[in-house]
A and B are shown apart, each in its own frame.
Chain A
Amino acid sequence: MEAGLEHLSRGTGRHLSRFVATIEPYYRSMEIAKRVAGLAAELGIGDVFVVANKVRDEGDRKAIGEFCAAHSLKLAGEIPFDPSLLDAERAGKTPIDFDPSSPAVKAIEKLADTLAATGNGQRTTPESNG
Chain B
Amino acid sequence: MPCCPRSRRSQALMRVAIAGKGGTGKTTISGTLARVLARRGREVLAIDADTTPNLAVTLGVPPARAQEMMELPRNMMERQQQDDGTMKTVFTADSEEVISRYSAAGPDGVRLLVMGKINHGGAG
Contacts and interface: CB of A to CB of B under 8 A. Distances in A.
Q: Do A and B bind each other?
A: yes
Interface of A: 2-8, 10-24, 28-29, 32-33, 36, 40, 45, 51, 53-54, 79, 85, 89, 93-97, 104-105, 108-109, 111-112, 115-116, 119, 122-126, 129-130
B58 to A, nearest CB: 5
Interface residues of B, number: 45
A23 B21 CA distance: 7
29 contacts: A2-B22, A3-B51, A4-B17, A4-B18, A4-B19, A16-B16, A17-B16, A18-B17, A21-B19, A22-B18, A22-B21, A23-B20, A24-B23, A36-B19, A53-B24, A79-B25, A93-B60, A94-B60, A96-B36, A97-B107, A105-B36, A112-B37, A116-B14, A122-B13, A123-B12, A123-B13, A124-B12, A125-B13, A129-B94
Given A3-B51, A109-B36, A124 B2 contact: yes
